[in-house]
Amino acid sequence: MALFGALFLALLAGAHAEIPGCKIRITSQALELVKQEGLRFLEQELETVTIPNLGGREGHFYYNISEVTVTALQLTSSELHFQPEQDLVLQITNSSLALHFQRQLLYWFFYDGGSINASAEGVSIRTSLQLSRDPSGRLKVSNVSCQASVSRLYAAFGGTYRSELMCPTPGPGPPITVIFPGPGLGEGQGLGSRLPSPRRKVYEFLSTLIISGMRFLLNQQICPVLYHAGMVLLNSFLATVPVRSSVDNLVGIDYSLLKDPVVSTSSLDMDFRGAFFPLAQGNWSLPNRAVEPQLQEEERMVYVAFSEFFFDSAMESYFQAGALQLSLVGDKVPKDLDMLLRASFFGSIVLLTPAMIDSPLKLELRVMAPPRCTIKPSGTTISVTASVTIAVVPPNKPEVQLSSIIMDARLSAKMALREKALRVHLDLRKFRIYSNQSALESLALIPLQAPLKTMLQLGVMPLINERTRRGVQIPLPEGMDFLREVVTNHAGFLTIGADLHFVKGLREMIEKRPEKNRPADPVASQAASAPPPSTAAA
């Protein structure tokens, strides 16, 4: 009985689940490109790390470590891969990190000062980004975990060493290389007994400081930098993805995620609402009863799928906004069509009054119901039914209707992705007019069918294509564009496969959005700057 109840609840939940109108798949083919740009950004972030001065007293030692800077960072070997269920993992191995800092040490009457160049080799960093849907429906990094370790540490000393008791003339001392082998880095080796006892004591103490300083760098600097880069900077980059925005002054589009992204070993899939709406009716929603788009391919970097609902909601929204109508008066009516209309309706005009023969004509097209999109493997078509009203407009007098015609048209639609916008080009394929008054009048309209079709092709379709050519942005961040797009039609939906490229660097895109890097809520700001416990080993 319990099993039956659970099954019933699962079916009920599935029945109420919203069907996506748009899907996007990022495949593992794109990860190499993303990794290159991400590592470039990460190197820039880590090289700007500032480490506070270290100073104090340990027994008879007085020390001060200052001007600590990262002089070089080499991320030699790295891998970026998907990890089910919601993670993106960056693994960096066998890398190196170089530091430069100034030292001042006093042990009894012995003073040592100068610079130290230290380097860590065998640096390994593993960062996992957990991806999810935020309350507004936007993709976000919800958590960052980090592990860092280093296997070997080298240090080269240069500067002055003197005893206050002997007071020798200060001068540059020979550089001494101190090597700390082994994974644990627990004890310093390599100094031996070649140095005088006080000086050896100084350098042994200094070696302990270097090890502690490197541990501090890994534990207190690298992982927090990665946490900040993911939770603040990368989320700022993802904030450029449109969620609910205007397409023009009449219609908007809702690209909110319907659920958390689904991550497999080879791809990341996202389901978007993909619904247009009239701006004047912000809460308006068209039920989605279309076929759910499916994504199976993984050969290209990215795949975008659109269902018939995506296009139906666009046309329904423009219909609700009153945009699917066109009025041509006087000189706006093509001359050939004007002459044909006057000849066809000459008798009707004369019966009204001969004085109206030279009055301007008016041709008004009004879509009677929202157009509908049909996607088949053979292509995409849009069906439109409109009324065509022909009238004469005498100066300073009310217009007089000559005829009302019903027009059925079928348009073929070609989709393309250009500059991260979905663009549509329409062609008139089938056209039929008839009268809703009588069959006899329909016969009389047959001579008008060819001229009206020509008028639509030459006068109306360019206006429509001018509007659709601007396109609508698809939900990808700023600074990314498509290359080598391939459109494939299926039954009820179409897919577009493409490769990606960065138009701008990741740092440039983030730095141009400083307002996005600072959360308005101080509580959120504090949370973003405080990473969860991370594991680092030196």
Q: What is the DSSP string of 504-515?
A: S-HHHHHHT-GG
Bridge partners, 495 (sequence order) = 305, 488
User: What predicted TM-score, i.e. pTM, was given to this entire model?
Assistant: 0.78
184 within a domain of the structure (yes/no): no
89 within a domain of the structure (yes/no): yes
Q: How confident is the model at residue 16 (pLDDT cuts 50, 70, 90)?
A: low
Q: Residues 80-98: what's their mean pLDDT?
A: 85
Q: Which of 219, 239, 259 is the last residue of a domain?
A: 239
**What pLDDT, on a 0 to 100 scale, did the predictor assign at position 156?**
72
Residue with tokens 């609700």: 320
Q: Residues 60-86: what's their mean pLDDT?
A: 82
**What pLDDT, on a 0 to 100 scale, did the predictor assign at position 53?**
77
Q: Are residues 95 and 231 in the same domain?
A: yes
Q: Are residues 343 and 228 in the same domain?
A: no
d(CA 374, CA 122): 58
300 within a domain of the structure (yes/no): no
**What pLDDT, on a 0 to 100 scale, did the predictor assign at position 536?**
44
- Which pair of tokens denotes residue 513? 């959005």
Query: How confident is the model over 113-155, as pLDDT tens digits?
Result: 788 888 878 888 888 999 999 988 999 999 998 888 777 777 7
Residue 486 has pLDDT above 80, yes or no: yes
Hey, is 522 helix, strand or coil?
helix
Closest to 531 (Cα-Cα) out of 204, 148, 206, 56: 148
Q: Are residues 104 and 208 in the same domain?
A: yes
**What pLDDT, on a 0 to 100 scale, did the predictor assign at position 440?**
64
283 within a domain of the structure (yes/no): no
286 within a domain of the structure (yes/no): no
Q: How many CB atoms lie within 10 A of CB 516?
A: 16
Residue type, position 477, single letter: P
Q: Are residues 230 and 118 in the same domain?
A: yes
CA distances from 228 to 81, 143, 297 (A): 20, 11, 34
Q: Are residues 233 and 334 in the same domain?
A: no
Q: Are residues 371 and 225 in the same domain?
A: no
The CATH number of residue 133's host domain is 3.15.10.10
Query: How confident is the model over 402-453, as pLDDT tens digits?
Result: 878 888 899 999 988 887 888 999 998 888 877 776 666 666 667 777 777 8
Q: Which of 416, 442, 474 is the last residue of a domain?
A: 474
Residue 376 has pLDDT above 90, yes or no: yes
Q: Residues 78-83: what's their mean pLDDT?
A: 88
Residue type, position 152, single letter: R
Q: Are residues 205 and 338 in the same domain?
A: no
**What pLDDT, on a 0 to 100 scale, did the predictor assign at position 347?**
67
Q: Are residues 329 and 234 in the same domain?
A: no
Residue 309 has pLDDT above 50, yes or no: yes
Say how many domains are in the chain: 2
Residue type, position 171, single letter: G
Query: How confident is the model over 336-355, as pLDDT tens digits?
Result: 777 777 777 766 666 667 66
- Structural domain span for residue 70: 28-167+200-239
Q: Are residues 233 and 330 in the same domain?
A: no
Q: Are residues 458 and 353 in the same domain?
A: yes
Residue 332 has pLDDT above 90, yes or no: no
319 within a domain of the structure (yes/no): no
The CATH number of residue 411's host domain is 3.15.20.10
d(CA 291, CA 306): 10
Q: Are residues 330 and 234 in the same domain?
A: no
Burial class of 301 by CB neighbour count within 10 A (0 to 12, 13 to 18, 19+): buried
335 within a domain of the structure (yes/no): yes
CB 36 within 8 A of CB 501: no
Q: For 161-165, 225-229, 230-234, which range has the lowest pLDDT when averaged over its residues?
A: 161-165
Q: Which of 428, 446, 474 is the last residue of a domain?
A: 474
**What pLDDT, on a 0 to 100 scale, did the predictor assign at position 10?**
42
User: For residues 513 and 145, which has the higher predicted lDDT (pLDDT)?
Assistant: 145
The mean pLDDT value of the chain amounts to 76
445 within a domain of the structure (yes/no): yes
d(CA 283, CA 278): 9
**What pLDDT, on a 0 to 100 scale, did the predictor assign at position 158?**
62
Q: Residues 451-467: what's their mean pLDDT?
A: 80
- Which pair of tokens denotes residue 36? 């290159």
